Structures are given as structure tokens and as C-alpha cells.
Amino acid sequence: MKKTVIVFLILTGLSTWQMKTFLTPLQYNMPTDAFDASYRDTLKVADVIEAIPSSTKASPNTSSNTPPKPPNIIVILADDLGWGDIGVQGSRAIETPNIDELAQAGARLTDFYSSAPICSPSRAGLLTGRYPLRTGFANVLGAADDTFIRKAMMNLSVGFSKLGLSDMAGGVPSIKGLPVSEITIPEALKEKGYSTLGIGKWHLGDFTHFPEFHPSNQGFDHFYGYNMSNDDWPVALWRDDKELIKDIGIDQANHTREFTEETVKYIHQWQDKPYFIYMAHKDPHQPFFPSKEFAGKSKGGPYGDAVAEFDWSIGQVIQALRDTGQLENTIVIVTSDNGPWYEGTTGGMRGRKGQSYEGGFRVPFIAAWPGNIPSGKVSNVPAMNIDLFPSFMSLAGLTLPTDRVIDGVDLMPLLMDKNKIQDRPLYFFHEYDVEAVRQGQWKYISHNSHYVWPIPLDKNDLVSGKAANSRDYYPEGSKVGIPTLGVWPLLYDLHLDREEGYNVAKLYPEQTKSLGQQLKQWQADFMQNPRGWKQ
């Protein structure tokens, strides 16, 4: 009897241990204490960012010298908009006249990337100028009171990923929201007197349950929008510190118009000092609920309807700037948080949302500023949304924070056609894993899913991928095998092959080796100081 009990306990313990191992997210030895509270949580922005003394110039209407007014800054962010979903980049099913007109009036960067192929991390990168892993975001945040079934499926997906059945081995982020130690664009710009407005989707902390992650604690004077994504259960609608609707459910049809009207209202109100507006639309993230004015009007179906209404919103913002005489003193940027998900087009590029292929990371980017950014400028210089933070600091006359690494660079010389930016590597993350690097025309991928997310199959850093690739056939006496699935690593010449269809790693072995070593070194340096703090 005792032996039976002992055996039962041992088997139960082993089963529990196996299940725990099965459900434990892969975090690639990320230090668990990297996001613990520290003195930086209470650090004042003014302690690490300074205003650069601006030169004065004579005003044409007065005899006094007055400092020039910094430009207004408006970032209009789409949600899951594909690179090929706009007319100027080849869309045939969807018409985007306002985006196309803005591109003709300003600059278009054809090789622009989000800092992550999924929502929350990409937004963290945009607002902080730092690779999302430095902020703790490796995956998307779920609603704090999500349904039991969805939470259970999220936990099980970690194990399923290790079997090659899904692609979420990193699990949910270990943080509940954007750490207060991070400095965002609006926090920094307020040091130069900017008014700040957040519109639309936040998704950087469910502030319905964790008030410390409310946008007002990250530099926004006003906020109107969602705490989470429009397909979370539940997602609430807020105006400033008041919850207007506890759960919007499917009643979303009027929100794009409301977000636009709120933005236009503040454009009319704020004419006496500079402002920053972060307009993060719900469109065209599924589910697609355009207003009745756009429903059924696009040849791209409901997705196309949502893109068309997003385009309309941009037109309303530009018109408001014209009506108030602010167009010449406002830089407007249109981009997306990542590539398309189930619908939309990458413009023929490989992969989609969630992948390190071009289709997951490469997104539309248009910047217009009459009289400063040349009209009709098109550039294929690689850039990323982490570059917006240093660009806006430059525009506002502010130094970069002295106590932390800022991974982005100032894009204004490139956009204003004054100088090229220095060639530098750009890194691509999948959850906690650094998978790829691009420098110049070359893109190196150490490991990735050859198939559209969420089916990893031959991703060779997972148990499933290793098992599949272990079936490679080696003829007797040969060290060269016949691959069962993928061949790694991958090297692509994006100037010739943006579709990533031809692996030229064997053709350019030195380039492959150099980029591989560069990626490993960056990851090693990152692990030594994941937050990028400076002493």
C-alpha cells in the first residue's frame, strides 16, 4: 500500500512538473527583476531632459525679437493597416485619396518599420523611442477581466506553441502596463510647453483596473478612447478620468467619427501654443464596424470600409488645420502599428502580423509639413517608429534623456532633404527573442516561422521545430544533409527581393556571418542591461 501511494505521489509530482514546464513561457533568460521598482519611477523628466536654447528672430510684425514657435505634431496611427492597403502603394480594392494627397504633399518612406509586429509592444516603442523589450513588452496585453476561457486559452497557447500548434510561446507580458520609469513623447514635450491629447486605442495597461497606467500618468492632458483593443472583452470607452461605457461590445460604428471630431475640436481650441496629438485609431483592426456612411461602400469589404473611414478621418484633420491656419506649422505623420492580420495586403511582401518577415513589420509611413518637408519625396532608407521620439525632441528643441538608451535616431534631416541618416542596424523581435536584423539592403533572420502566424512548425528554437528538423536525411558518410523543412539562417537582399523569396546566405557567406555575429552581440549586450539604463 505504501509503495502504491509513493508511486502515485511521484507520478503526480512528475505530471505537475511537466505541466508547469509545458505552460511556462519562453523568456530567453530575461532577468526577472529588470522591471522592479526603482528610483527612476519618481524621476522628473526635467532631471534628464533639457531644453536647447533657441535662437531668436525678428518678428515681421513687431520690433522685438521672439523665439520661433515649435511646430505642432500630429501622429495618426492605424491599427493593422497593411503596407499595400493605400492607393499610393498600389491598393486596387481600396481608395485612400486623403492619404495619397498627403503623400504627394510630403515624404513617403517605403522601408519604414514598426518596432514590433503586434500592437502593445509597437505602441510602447513609438512612444518611448526604445525597443519594446526595454519597456517589458514582449506580447500584447489582454484585458484584466477577460473571460475565463480566453485566459485559459492564452495560457494553454504557451504549451501549444512548443508543440508547433500556435505561436505564443512567450506568453503574456510580465508587466501590467507601460512602466512609469519610461519617458513618453508627451511627457517630454510638456517640458517645452506642449498641450497633449491622446485619442483612440491605448493598450498599454488596462487602466480600468490599474489606474496608474492611465494615459494622464504618461503625459497626456486629455484622453478620449479605449483602455484596450476593440476586440477585447470587455473594452471600455473613457473621456479623461471618466468611464463613459463599461463595455462597448459591438457598438463601435460611431467611434471613428467621434475620435475624429474630438481631435478636430482640440485643433480649433489650441491655437495659442504648440500641441502634440496622438490619434491611435481602432481601424482597421477586426472586428470591422465602420459607420453607416462607409459600410458597404468599399470594394475591399468590411476591412476596406474601415480603411476608407480611416482615410476620411485624415482628411478631416488636414481640413481643420487649413481652416485654422495651422497647416504650415504642423507636421502630420501617418503610419501603422504593424502589418495586416487576417485581412489587408502587405503589397506582396512575405508574412503578416506577428512575424519577423517584412509583411509583419514593414508599414506605411507618410510625413507632411508644408515648407519644410519637400513634396513628393520618396525614400527607401530603412527607418522605424522608435525614430519618432528623437525626431520630435529635435523639432521641439529638447535634448534626449541622459539616463537611458534611446534606440531611435532623428529622422528630420532625412525627411527635410538636408542629410542622410547614418546607416545603422534595425532589430526585429518576436516576443523575447531577437530574430532578425536589417542593415542597408540586407536582412538576416536567424530563425522564424516559414508559415503565416500562428503556425511555427519549423521554427528551430522550439521543441517542435527541433524535432521536425531532426528528421533531415544524411547519406552515409556525408556531413551534408537533405533538409526536411527549412534551411537556416536566412539572408535576403531587400533591394532585389523585398518579398523575401530567395535565401542568399550561401551566396554571401561573409555578409551572413557578419550579420549573425552582430545580432548575437546585440542580444548579449541587451541581456547585460535590458532596460538600457545609463549610470
pLDDT in tens, 304-342: 999 999 999 999 999 999 999 999 999 999 999 999 999
Q: What is the pLDDT of residue 3?
A: 61
What average pLDDT does this structure show over 27-31? 82
Burial class (CB in 10 A: 0-12, 13-18, 19+), 127: buried
**SS3 assignment for 128-176:** HCCCHHHHCCCCCCCCCCCCHHHHHHHHHHHHHHHCCCCCCCCCCCCCC
Compute the CA torsion angle 262, 263, 265, 266 (nearest 10 deg).
120
Q: What is the pLDDT of residue 422?
A: 83
208-243 pLDDT, tens per residue? 999 999 999 999 999 999 999 999 889 999 999 999
Q: What is the pLDDT of residue 464?
A: 73
Closest to 173 in 3D by CA, of 126, 205, 208, 130: 205
376-406 pLDDT, tens per residue? 999 999 999 999 999 999 999 999 999 999 9
Hey, which residues are catalytic here? 119, 203
Q: What is the pLDDT of residue 238?
A: 98
Q: How confident is the model at residue 57 (pLDDT cuts 50, 70, 90)?
A: very low
What average pLDDT does this structure show over 175-194? 97
Least confident of 155-169, 222-236, 260-274, 434-448: 155-169
Residue 6 reports pLDDT greater than 70: no
Residue 293 reports pLDDT greater than 80: yes
What cell does 487 get?
534551411
Residue 22 reports pLDDT greater than 90: no
For the chain, what is the total number of helices (H) and then of strands (E)? 13, 18
Element of type H or E holding 388: helix 388-396
Residue 458 contacts residue 486 (beta carbons within 8 Å):
yes
Least confident of 76-80, 113-117, 158-162, 494-498: 158-162
What average pLDDT does this structure show over 444-463? 75
What is the DSSP annotation of 232-248?
Answer: SSS--EEETTEEEES--
Closest to 385 in 3D by CA, of 173, 115, 163: 115
Residue 15 reports pLDDT greater than 60: yes
489-522 pLDDT, tens per residue? 999 999 999 999 999 999 999 999 999 999 999 9
348: left (phi over 0), alpha (psi -120 to 50) or beta: left
The better pLDDT of the pair 97, 482 is held by: 97
What is the DSSP annotation of 292-329?
Answer: TTTTT-STTHHHHHHHHHHHHHHHHHHHHHHHTT-GGG
Q: What is the pLDDT of residue 64?
A: 44
Q: What is the pLDDT of residue 171?
A: 86
- Tell me what the pLDDT averaged over the chain comes to: 91
Residue 8 reports pLDDT greater than 60: no
Least confident of 222-231, 285-294, 318-327, 411-420: 411-420
What cell does 453 get?
502566424
Q: What is the pLDDT of residue 12?
A: 55
Longest dimension (CA), the chain: 102
Residue 65 reports pLDDT greater than 60: no
What average pLDDT does this structure show over 48-63? 62
Residue 168 reports pLDDT greater than 90: no
DSSP state of 382: -
